[in-house]
Structure 1
């Protein structure tokens, strides 16, 4: 093979940043590469790199991926469990974790028509099959944070990911230890930040290509610039927001999330001055017992203090809550409802605990018998809707959140129907994922 081979980087539902980044790395290395969203049309490529961010995609897009006759490589968050990938998909290799280096090395082997198991075994951070056996190579070293520009699709301006055209990466890693989060599993707990100059060059390129609304990502936004013995660097974070905002305008810059224990007045003032004025806190529970079980590293009182601090800066506040976590009892849930009521946030996001492979939550779910898993226990409430206890709690908190918020929203039949459908969709999705990882644990 030569670098004239055609490579397609494919994302099923939206142009995720990781796919654009890998495509940019390959283009910079001289490969003929394009990026495609969805499976429509014939994929005319020798090699297809498929970026999958959700475990459910292994089932949802199984048939479409089967039809692709190219050499297929899977990457993205699902790569934390290559065993699951190979169980459900007919693909040739899996990139485990950070893929900038390992993807290039696989392609170099393919160029040399050298993709025997003995040769692939020398490449760090991948998995492949040798007969019926899955081979996982040594974990790859961390990728450099200075890299080529992403390959940006021409229609990036039409993308809408929770209100943004793109989530750009400012750093990798998180010192937090939340049991449901994949970031430390994927990128580690040491924070590695990109240079501000590098980020600004990238932002300009996205704007040049038509993007207007930009969100900064990388786990907790305020970790940008962090050093080993200093969790937050207010100056670095403020300069980051100030410089990006000067290009996008504050109304078009979003900070997706900030940890409650990784913010201060300087950070809040920067959010107020240089972004659209919203902050997203992962609150998760109103029960200190459950917060300990989730390994959040915060207490309910910390949540209240953070909300009060954000309000002093006139910042709009959204909060996420997780229900149905293993071990959650009725008292824990009621404590969460009471906290959500007391806080009166500007927006609420409620989800059922999803066991992402490789996380402590997934390990807990594997150890929990189905007759003790709240997602598999029928609720006595809302009997006509056939909900589990986890779904009942999700729906209840969603319904209540429209009353609790700073500007209450009247409940209508259409809104109730929408929330019920969302609850059932979450429940079905997470039950399927749970069954998948349980089957894999028995495999």
Structure 2
């Protein structure tokens, strides 16, 4: 067996992704004793890898989002330049999955596109056994087959209960990475993972899902509130559970799924005082262009129901959509002001063109003066929050990068790198 060492390049944004990979690795007996390390910067990586025996083969894995690509690129350059041991650089996560060609050009040896629970451990096993790696499918992993976190390293996080999204919003990478078919962890498996967390002293339970109220749904569109109730009631009655959070960060709910019945379920079983509701725009025209498949009226109704039932409504909006007109912006301004009068707060984001989405080649529009005035007014009142300004600066940097990638690759590679299906 080959002396293999696995190192994860860790930051605050990729912790959950690393934990999922660790959970997958721990599923395989052949990998249970694999030496695994974590570094937080290139200096740590160089020092650690150079301390390994010269006979060892190191796999250094990066998982990252598009806004991080410049930092990652600089780290890769430094590591390539200063590491004096045999090294394989691997990459996965949202940006590598959307831009595998560009990621390889950054200096990586392998890019894992999509879900890594099967492919990444298989790659590690092939290295240990000195065998040729045979690439496997990266879609439709059975969530029940893998741990959602690492027991070995006590690296716990919210439990992923649903993967995949049927809606295919034009700005979103989720359905392009995980597919449009929704898959759910079964209630029995979720309960087992919660019990494991309780044994390790974790008493607050949260979930990762594109849309909390889609749990148990066959298509992710039509609600299955019976499954939602069974999930929440099963988790809530586990001995040792202190609080359960559902429909709040790090997940959200779609506005059309917010009904008196669904909110009553959350109110009965969950402990969060807020609901995160995805609106994105106050213009029905923009919502249609984005493929959101809900209306402004759906958002309005969802906020009224949430507030009526005692929840703080945190409503997501995205500024800078490329095809916005002055009238679209005016409608969004009016809608945000109307929602805040109802008791909602605005979570502000800025549109980023992301690889492999239909809007990948679209140029963002700067926030105009009228919108900026309203943003500042609502921020001053504590009714608007978010890192939209930093995202605005990154958005144009990303656009320039992707535009260059798009111009400098062949037609065939363009189809692969920017396929929106």
Q: Does 1:186 align with 2:151?
A: no
Give the TM-score taking structure 1 as reference length: 0.78
> Aligned partners of 1:216, 1:166: CA distance in 2, in Å?
8
> Aligned partners of 2:267, 2:48: CA distance in 1, in Å?
45
CA shift, 1:106, in A, is 1.7
Deviations 1:412-438 (A, max 9, x none): xxx9xx98xx55422221111111111
1:129-148 paired onto structure 2 within 5 Å: 140-148=138-146
Partner secondary structure for residue 19 of structure 2: helix
Of residues 343-352 and 225-234 in structure 1, the stretch that sits farther from structure 2 once superposed is 225-234
Q: Does 1:84 align with 2:61?
A: no
1:59 to 66, 70, 92: 70
Partner secondary structure for residue 290 of structure 1: helix
CA shift, 1:276, in A, is 1.0
> Aligned partners of 1:34, 1:393: CA distance in 2, in Å?
52
1:345-424 paired onto structure 2 within 5 Å: 345-363=343-361, 365=362, 373-374=364-365, 389-390=366-367, 392=369, 395-402=372-379, 408-409=381-382, 422-424=387-389
Tell me if the contact between 1:26 and 1:33 (Cα under 8 Å) persists in the aligned partners: no
Partner of 2:256: 261
> Aligned partners of 2:368, 2:298: CA distance in 1, in Å?
28
Q: Does 1:249 align with 2:266?
A: no
> Aligned partners of 1:335, 1:254: CA distance in 2, in Å?
27
1:43 to 32, 41, 48: 48
CA shift, 1:17, in A, is 2.3
**Aligned residue-pair number:** 381
Partner secondary structure for residue 282 of structure 1: strand
Q: Would the alpha carbon gap of residues 265 and 82 (structure 1) be closer, same or farther in structure 2, given more than 3 Å must change?
A: same
Q: Would the alpha carbon gap of residues 423 and 51 (structure 1) be closer, same or farther in structure 2, given more than 3 Å must change?
A: same
> Aligned partners of 2:221, 2:382: CA distance in 1, in Å?
41
Partner secondary structure for residue 362 of structure 1: coil
Q: Would the alpha carbon gap of residues 394 and 271 (structure 1) be closer, same or farther in structure 2, given more than 3 Å must change?
A: farther
> Aligned partners of 1:77, 1:148: CA distance in 2, in Å?
20
Q: Does 1:151 align with 2:150?
A: yes
Q: Would the alpha carbon gap of residues 230 and 285 (structure 1) be closer, same or farther in structure 2, given more than 3 Å must change?
A: closer
Tell me if the contact between 2:143 and 2:185 (Cα under 8 Å) persists in the aligned partners: yes
> Aligned partners of 2:329, 2:221: CA distance in 1, in Å?
34
1:123 to 135, 152, 165: 135
CA shift, 1:102, in A, is 1.2
Q: Which structure carries more relative contact order (alpha carbon 8 Å, separation 6+)?
A: 2
> Aligned partners of 2:48, 2:245: CA distance in 1, in Å?
34
Give the TM-score taking structure 2 as reference length: 0.81
CA shift, 1:349, in A, is 1.1
> Aligned partners of 1:252, 1:268: CA distance in 2, in Å?
13
Deviations 1:20-64 (A, max 9, x none): 121122233232143526226333474435342311222112232
> Aligned partners of 1:184, 1:266: CA distance in 2, in Å?
28
Deviations 1:99-130 (A, max 9, x none): 1111122223322434xxxx55x4135xxxxx
CA shift, 1:196, in A, is 1.1
Unpaired segments ≥5 residues, structure 1: 126-139, 157-164, 375-388
> Aligned partners of 2:36, 2:201: CA distance in 1, in Å?
18
Deviations 1:391-426 (A, max 9, x none): 7566444323346xxxx449xxxx9xx98xx55422
Partner of 1:438: 403
Tell me if the contact between 1:317 and 1:347 (Cα under 8 Å) persists in the aligned partners: yes
Deviations 1:325-356 (A, max 9, x none): 01112211111111111112442111111111
Partner secondary structure for residue 125 of structure 2: helix
Of residues 340-349 and 59-68 in structure 1, the stretch that sits farther from structure 2 once superposed is 59-68
1:326 to 302, 310, 322: 322
Tell me if the contact between 1:49 and 1:75 (Cα under 8 Å) persists in the aligned partners: no
Give the ranges of 4+ consecutive aligned residues of structure 1 lying more than 6 Å apart after TM superposition.
none
> Aligned partners of 2:344, 2:151: CA distance in 1, in Å?
33
> Aligned partners of 2:282, 2:314: CA distance in 1, in Å?
15
Partner secondary structure for residue 6 of structure 1: strand
Partner secondary structure for residue 275 of structure 2: strand
Unpaired segments ≥5 residues, structure 2: 409-421
Partner of 2:127: 110
Q: Would the alpha carbon gap of residues 399 and 429 (structure 1) be closer, same or farther in structure 2, given more than 3 Å must change?
A: same
Deviations 1:197-238 (A, max 9, x none): 211222333344454544311211111111139621101112
Partner secondary structure for residue 360 of structure 2: helix
